[in-house]
Amino acid sequence: MFSHGYHISDSQTRIAAWRRFVARARRAGKTVFTRGEQDQEWNVCGWSKRNPPQAFYWSALFGLHCGLDIWNIPSNALGGHKLKEAIEIFTRYAGQYDPAASTAAFCALRRGLDASDKVAFDEAKFGKAHRRNTERYLKIAAAFSSRGAKQGDPPKALGHGMKNRQRDDYNDVGWGIVRGNYCRFLEQIDPDQTSIGYWHVGPKDHIFSRFARGFSHASGKKAMHFRLDKRFFGGSGRPQAVRLRVVYLDRGSGAWSLIRRTPTGPAAAMTVKCQNTGKWIDKHIDITNAVFTQSLPGGADLSLQYVSGDDTIFHLIEVTRLISE
């Protein structure tokens, strides 16, 4: 199921079971290798065929989040370079299970609206948390509609994995879906307490526009903190040469900074003033003095911080080694 799309119901249970299996195999000294096939749903189901590049891109991120090594894409989907971004990011991370030997780490920002979550979605307000309570799904989507959430095919949201994948439109509320970001070796700390989710934001049908997170400075959410897996650099306090990449929506006139720690203390790796072009901007910087010891506030290694003006919305943050250890 990890190779068939993304935002699939019951993913929490499925991922937890898979990770327990992998842990048992490794304790037994076994090597785990995974392969999955995407089928012709990409050209049949509405959520995919209306925007195949976006569907494959987020499917790639979901597959990586779940630990997929080989992803078999139907040959008739591979025309031209329409899937270039999906193929490139999957290839960059596929098979990299050991943080100490991995070349990069990423966190793709999103919020999954999980109808089974009674804490986030109180039953008194949203209705009983039963899988087939359609009204609960619709009320949750409506609560976030101002930030783009929608429930385009409610009956399909009620089904298990196979039925859920057959949705004819976008369903932003599911049952037991991944609630947070898709990531590999780089996680956001307390995402819902430090940022807000967006759906279908930015240029229509852009691959990055499916999900995002942003600041909400009016409610005190002015910094997003990220923690690199300690094994990535082995907890060493030595300065590291890395490429830091941030993908953000250039909307409004807000300013923000990416903060990292140097040997002498926190410093801005980049500070950006948005120009209100309405485009997704992919920005990176190479630095040689980053220290990854989880010593920024909240135990972070990197922070996106609001500076002024409008709230900025982000798609992804990535760390890539420039020098092999």
Expressed as residue numbers, the domain containing 143 is 113-174
Asked if residue 128 and residue 90 are part of one domain, the reply reads no
Q: Does the residue 212 lie in any domain?
A: yes
In angstroms, the CA 244 to CA 303 distance is 12
Number of domains in the chain: 3
Arithmetic mean of pLDDT over the chain: 95
- What percentage of the chain exceeds 90 in pLDDT? 88
Q: pLDDT at residue 325 above 60?
A: no
Task: State the pLDDT at residue 131.
Answer: 96
pLDDT band at 162 (very low <50, low <70, confident <90, very high): confident
Q: Has residue 214 got a pLDDT over 70?
A: yes
5 within domain boundaries? no
User: Cβ-count burial of 85 within 10 angstroms (0-12 exposed, 13-18 middle, 19+ buried)?
Assistant: middle
Q: Is the same domain home to 233 and 289?
A: yes
- At 65, the pLDDT band (50, 70, 90 cuts) reads very high
| Residue 126 and residue 54 share a domain | no
> What single-letter DSSP state applies at residue 299?
G
Last residue of a domain, one of 174, 194, 226: 174
Query: Looking at the structure, do residues 205 and 74 belong to the same domain, yes or no?
Result: no
Residue 56 lies in a domain: yes
Of 56-60, 163-167, 255-259, the poorest mean pLDDT is in 163-167
Helix 11-27 to helix 52-66 angle (10° resolution) is 40
Instruction: Output the domain CATH number for residue 248.
Output: 2.60.120.260
Q: Do 164 and 241 sit in the same domain of this protein?
A: no
Same domain, 288 and 222: yes
Residues 314 and 186 reside in one and the same domain = yes
Tell me what the mean pLDDT of segment 85-90 comes to.
96
Residue 268 has pLDDT above 60, yes or no: yes
Residue 4 maps to a domain: no
Same domain, 293 and 198: yes
Mean pLDDT, to the nearest integer, of 251-255?
97
Task: Among 124, 146, 174, identify where a domain stops.
Answer: 174
Q: What is the pTM of this model?
A: 0.96
Residues 50 and 147 placed together within one structural domain of the fold: no
Q: Are 310 and 254 in contact (CB under 8 A)?
A: yes
Q: Which long-range contacts (CB under 8 A, 24 or more apart) does 236-239 make?
A: 236/293, 237/263, 237/291, 237/293, 238/291, 239/263, 239/288, 239/289, 239/290, 239/291
204 pLDDT above the threshold of 80: yes
Q: Is residue 192 part of a domain?
A: yes
Are 212 and 303 members of one domain?
yes
pLDDT at 80 over 90: no
Residue 63 pLDDT > 80, yes or no?
yes
For residue 262, is it within any domain? yes
Q: What is the pLDDT, as a whole number, of residue 106?
A: 98
Cβ neighbors of 1 (< 8 A, separation 6 or more) are 8, 11, 14, 36, 161
Tell me the per-residue pLDDT of 100-109, one tens digit each, with 9 for 90 and over.
999 999 999 9
In this prediction, residues 233-259 reach a mean pLDDT of 95
* Residue 1 forms part of a structural domain: no
Task: Give yes or no: residues 119 and 203 share one domain.
Answer: no
Do 132 and 236 fall into the same domain?
A: no
Torsion of CA 19, 22, 27, 33, to 10 degrees: -160
User: Final residue of a domain: which of 97, 130, 151?
Assistant: 97
Domain assignment present for 6:
no
